[in-house]
Structure 1
Amino acid sequence: MVRLPQLNRHLRRAYDDADLCLCDSRVLARLARLVGVRLPVAPGSDITRLLFDRLPAGDRLFLIGGTAADLAHLQGLYPALSIAQHIPPMGLLNDPAGRAAAIAAATAADARIILLAVGSPQQELIALEMKREGKVRGTALCVGASVDFITGKERRAPLPVQKAGMEWAWRLAANPRRMAKRYLVDCPAIFPLVGRWALARKRSRT
C-alpha cells in the first residue's frame, strides 16, 4: 500500500489488473477499521500452506523463485505432489529477458498452480505479463516469502503475536538487518496515507 503511489503506470497496472487482491496485514486491517472499512485478513503464508496441504495427490505446482534446497524440502514434505521450479536471476524488475524466461518456463511446466516467490513488485509484474501473453494455464499466485515459512527457513510468529498484529515486530527482531528499513522506515508511511484517504473520503460525502 505504501509502494503503490510511488509506482509508475505500468507497475501500478500489475495490481489494478489482478483477478484477486487480499489483505495479509493485520495492521492495515485495524487501520481500515478505524476509518469504517472492513478489510478481512488473509495472510499469504497461511493461504500458501493450506494450498499445499489440501491439493490432491498428483497435482502439479510450479515454483518461480527460491533455491534448489527449497524445492527438495517441499518435495520431501509433499511427496504426493508434482513440484517443478525455475530459479530466475536477481534484478527481475529491470530484466525483461529474465521475466520472459520465467514465463516461458511456466508455460512449459503446464502446472495447475504457479507460485511466484520473487518479491514485490517484480512477482506482480511477472503475473501481469504472464496474463497478457495468454499462454500459461493454471492459476498464478504471488506468495512472497511464504515458501520460506513452509520449509522452515523462516519461522512464523506465535499465534498470539500474529493475532495481536505484532508479527512485524517478530520478524524485525528475528532479522533486523533485512527488515529494519521495511518496518521502521518504509511502512510507517501507511499512517499518513490512511489519514489522508479518510479525510478525502469524508469530504467527498459532505
Structure 2
Amino acid sequence: MTSVESIGPHRRDFPEASGPDDGVETVTLGGMSISVVDRPAAARLMIRAARSHRRGDRPLNYTSSNGQVIARVDDDPELDALFAEADHIFADGQSLVFASRLLCHRSLPGRVATTDLFHDVAGLAERGGDTFYMLGSTQQRVDTAAAAVREAYPDLRLLGHAHGYHQGAELEEKLAEIDRLSPDILWLGIGVQQAQHFIRDYGPSLPNVGLIKTAGGLFDHLAGATRRAPEIVQRAGLEWFWRVLQEPRRLGWRYLTTNPRAIYAMLRHSA
C-alpha cells in the first residue's frame, strides 16, 4: 500500500472554496473536457470540494476518462451527454497525456490514475477526518478491499461498504443508508456506463453525500485480485497492453476496436 506520510497538509490548512467553479483549466480531448491537474492536485481538489459542497443538493460528480472511454463516448451520444454533466473529468490514461502534448493548447501535467489517486485522497482524508464509503464490485471483493483499506489507513473514517448489485427496494434501502451516513466521498466501483447512469438516476437520492468519484475496477486492485503494470510500462502508456496480457479473451477485442476509434476521435475533436 502507498505510504501516507507527508502526503499533504492538515484539514484546517485547506481553503474553503472549491467545486465545479474552482477555476481549474480544462482541455478538450476527443470531445471530452479534461481537467488540467496532476494527481496530487486532483486529490487536494477532491478533498476541498467534498468538504465545501453544500449538502441538500446532488453530490458532485468527479469521474475519469481514458482511450476506451473516449471511444465509447464518441459512439454513444447519451453517454457523451452524461459525461458532459460531470464536475471534473480526470485523465486516467497516459495516452491522453501524450495526445494533449500534440493536440491541445496546453499539455496535461500527468496521468491521474484512479488506482493511485485513491491512496492520495485516503492519506489526506485520514489526516483531515474526511469520510469514505465504498460501493461496487461483488460482496466478497469489496469486503476484501475494505479490509485492505482499513489496514493501510487505520485512522481513515471508512463509514461502510457494499456490493454493487442491489436492485429495487434493496437498492433504495442501501441508498437511504448511505445518505444517512453522509460520507464526504462515495467511491463508486462499477462499470463506466453504469456509473454515469447511477449518478444521473440516484444522485438526487444522496443529498447528504459530498462527492461521488467513479472508480471502475479500483476495488479489484485494492483487494489484490488484479495487478498493476510495472512503472516503466505505465509511463510508456502501455498499461492497457499489460491488462490484455492478463485477460486476453475479455480485453483483447475491446482494445483492438476501441484504440483506433479513440485515436480518431482525439484527432478530430481536441483543442
Q: Which band: TM-score by shorter chain? A: 0.7 to 0.9
What TM-score do the two structures reach when normalised by structure 1? Answer: 0.80
Tell me what 1:204 maps to: none
Tell me what 1:187 maps to: 259
* Larger CA deviation: 179-188 vs 111-120: 179-188
Q: Deviations over 1:118-156 (max 9, x none)?
A: 121111222233444452322111111123223322111
CA contact (8 A) 1:63 1:115 kept: yes
Tell me the secondary structure at the aligned position of residue 89 of structure 2.
coil
Tell me what 1:3 maps to: 72
- Measure, in 2, the Cα distance between the counterparts of 1:29 and 1:62: 30
- How far the C-alpha of 1:102 sits from its partner, in A, is 5.1
- Measure, in 2, the Cα distance between the counterparts of 1:29 and 1:140: 24
The percent identity for this pair of structures is 25
Q: Alignment RMSD, CA only?
A: 2.6
- Given the alignment of the two structures, is residue 73 of structure 1 paired with residue 148 of structure 2, yes or no? yes
- Given the alignment of the two structures, is residue 20 of structure 1 paired with residue 20 of structure 2, yes or no? no
Q: Which amino acid is the alignment partner of residue 82 of structure 2?
A: A
What TM-score do the two structures reach when normalised by structure 2? Answer: 0.62
Higher helix share: 1
- Given the alignment of the two structures, is residue 62 of structure 1 paired with residue 133 of structure 2, yes or no? yes
Report how many residues are paired: 194
CA contact (8 A) 2:91 2:113 kept: yes
Q: Which amino acid is the alignment partner of residue 64 of structure 1?
A: L
- How far the C-alpha of 1:25 sits from its partner, in A, is 1.1
- Measure, in 1, the Cα distance between the counterparts of 2:256 and 2:169: 34
Q: Which of 44, 51, 61 is the equivalent residue of 2:114? A: 44
Q: Which of 164, 178, 203 is the equivalent residue of 1:106? A: 178
Structure 2 gaps, min length 5:
1-69
Q: CA 1:129 to 1:99, structure 2 compared with 1: closer, same or farther past 3 Å?
A: farther
CA contact (8 A) 1:89 1:98 kept: no
Tell me the secondary structure at the aligned position of residue 114 of structure 1.
strand
- Measure, in 2, the Cα distance between the counterparts of 1:98 and 1:184: 38
Q: Which of 215, 218, 233 is the equivalent residue of 1:143? A: 215
Q: CA 1:98 to 1:183, structure 2 compared with 1: closer, same or farther past 3 Å?
A: farther
Q: CA 1:108 to 1:8, structure 2 compared with 1: closer, same or farther past 3 Å?
A: farther
Structure 1 gaps, min length 5:
202-206
- Given the alignment of the two structures, is residue 32 of structure 1 paired with residue 100 of structure 2, yes or no? yes
Q: Deviations over 1:7-66 (max 9, x none)?
A: 343x43321111111111111221232224423431121211211233226542111113
Tell me what 1:87 maps to: 163
Higher RCO (CA-CA < 8 Å; seq separation 6+): 2
